[in-house]
Amino acid sequence: MLRRTNWLYLFIIICFLITSCDSKAVYDVYKSVPSQWHKDSIASFNFKSPDTINNYNLYVNLRNTNDYRFSNLFLLVELNYPNGKVIKDTLEYKMAAPNGELLGTGFSDIKENKLWYRGYKDSFKFNEEGDYTVNIQHAMRNNGDVNGVENLEGITDIGFRVELAQK
């Protein structure tokens, strides 16, 4: 009976260590996408500024399947500050290697991509206390097509992450 208790304690300790390894994350939320990501569908993320002193890295996180058929991804990302200031960016991310193999981590047919948004070149500070909102929308187009891809296939989840930057 003692052995079974020791295994239980070991299992609990291992689970605790695995879940506590991500101590840099201040905010990390995903939103599921239905079978397709419609071009007018916006993923919104609302969070409070952690502080106005430290530097942070901001990421757009994506999970995609092999149904994603593009080598890149264009996103419209909007950062809304508490005072009403809005910063809009059109961002391009590489999603596949030249041989067509999808980039990202994962052992199954679902790949996870952690894509830089802010903090990679210059430190990002939340210079205002309060509630921030990040809106993410895809802006994909087929070559030669003026109208965007109406329903983007292969994206299963969209996330936003705020991490404390390394000092």
CATH topology of domain 24-164: Jelly Rolls (2.60.120)
> Is the Cβ–Cβ distance between 68 and 93 less than 8 Å?
no
C-beta neighbour count of 81 within 10 angstroms: 16
Give yes or no for a contact between 124 and 55, defined as CB atoms under 8 angstroms apart. yes
CA triple 8-12-13, angle to 5 deg: 115
- In the prediction, which pLDDT does 8 show? 47
Reported pTM: 0.82
Structure tokens of 5? 């208790």
Query: Would you write out the chain's pLDDT as a tens digit for each of its 167 residues?
Result: 446 555 544 445 554 444 445 578 999 999 999 889 999 999 999 999 999 999 999 999 999 999 999 999 999 999 999 999 999 999 999 998 999 888 889 888 899 999 999 988 888 999 999 999 999 999 998 877 778 889 999 999 999 999 999 87
Going from N- to C-terminal start, the domains of the chain cover 24-164
